[in-house]
Amino acid sequence: MGIPTIVGLCVAGVCLVLLIIALVQLSGLRSALSETDKRVRQLPRPAEDAGRIDRTASMLQVLLDQMRRLDEAVATLRPSFSSPTPASAAPPPPPPPSPPQPSASAERAVAAPKLIVDIGSDGQGLKGRAFEPFPEERASADRTAPAPAAEQVAKPWVAPASEPPPSQAATSEREVEVLDEYRKLIAQPRKAEINRWTDDHDGESCEATDDGTFRPLDREAGGLLVLLPLGRDRAMVLPAGRMVVDFATNFANALSLRSVTRQTFELVEDGSGVLRLVEPAYAERLEGVWRLSSPGRLSGLNPG
């Protein structure tokens, strides 16, 4: 007999006791009302109270009839409480799955896990139960068990260091030093000194293309730009010695300078006629090809 059945029997018993008490009280009340009705009918009635007494007697009779019907309704409910049924029948458990067939290639039988019951030290009852793992699982768990929570100290997340975006101005000491040297050279331009300086910094002569890439081109063959490597796959793009020296005569016009720099530099027309590097351009090497990543700015062009 399950716990739900016992609870249902207890509730039914309590309800039955309450109904019996109510029936006893109703029976006594009905008897008292009957006696009162009889006495009222037997009392001598004056002529003026005859109608009132008759109405009272009729009301008492109606009340007695209602109580009798209530008694009959309660009597019909009594058998159902005398044999209570369980509150809810639990659905039958599903059939257990069929055990897998042992493989024919199994070389040894695996022992079933042992049931471990932990009895409290006070002997009052079971405190918990668990299944002992298989020997192989226990050994694997011992090897791969994580460290206790107290030993696992969470370390703050630190963002990995990365190179500054090419669109930002040069921030490293080497870039600042290179730019200072280059600006001093182009302030008093001499082609030989500028070419020697770019060679000392492993500069590579090149030309810009319409698709934003740079193609190697010797300075003797017309290379007007130079790539100064800043790392393995990052370089600074600067005007070569020939462009600096011949700027006033051949490249001071925006149209002519744009034809050789393409979109490498933003051109500022200030009418000075002297080439100034406001901001260098930057390139990145992707799959062996140098590609423009951030355009620079050149000033000194004549308007128009």
Position 144 scores a pLDDT of: 55
User: 119 in a domain, yes or no?
Assistant: no
Least confident range of 140-154, 256-270, 275-289: 140-154
User: 33 in a domain, yes or no?
Assistant: yes
Q: Among 20-24, 40-44, 132-136, 154-158, which range has the highest average pLDDT? A: 20-24
pLDDT at 118 over 80: no
Selected residue with higher pLDDT from 76 and 175: 175
User: 163 in a domain, yes or no?
Assistant: no
pLDDT at 126 over 70: no
User: 19 in a domain, yes or no?
Assistant: yes
Least confident range of 14-18, 145-149, 254-258: 145-149
Position 166 scores a pLDDT of: 45
Stated as kind and residue range, the H or E segment containing 116 is strand 115-119
Residue partners of 209: CB distance under 8 A and separation at least 6 = 215, 262
Q: Tell me whether residue 182 is exposed, middle or buried, using C-beta atoms within 10 angstroms of its C-beta: 0 to 12, 13 to 18, 19 or more.
A: buried
Position 195 scores a pLDDT of: 95
User: 136 in a domain, yes or no?
Assistant: no
Mean pLDDT along residues 242-257? 92
In this prediction the pTM is 0.46
Instruction: Mark which of 82, 98, 128 sits at the end of a domain.
Output: 82
User: 256 in a domain, yes or no?
Assistant: yes
Position 87 scores a pLDDT of: 46
Instruction: Mark which of 82, 110, 135 sits at the end of a domain.
Output: 82
Q: Residue 282: which pLDDT band, with cuts at 50, 70 and 90?
A: very high
For residue 95, give the 3-state DSSP assignment. coil
User: 189 in a domain, yes or no?
Assistant: yes
Number of domains within the chain: 2
Which residue reads 């200072």 in tokens? 180
- Taking the C-alpha atoms of residue 65 and residue 88, their distance in angstroms, rounded to an integer, is 38
How does pLDDT run across 171-207, given as a tens digit for each residue?
588 899 999 999 999 999 999 999 999 999 999 999 9
Cβ contact 228:236 at 8 Å? yes
Instruction: Mark which of 55, 82, 109 sits at the end of a domain.
Output: 82
Same domain, 78 and 180: no
Same domain, 183 and 295: yes
DSSP 186-220: HHS--HHHHHHHHHHTT-EEEEE-TTSEEEE--GG
Quote the domain boundaries for residue 250. Answer: 173-299
User: 116 in a domain, yes or no?
Assistant: no
Selected residue with higher pLDDT from 301 and 48: 301
pLDDT at 163 over 50: no
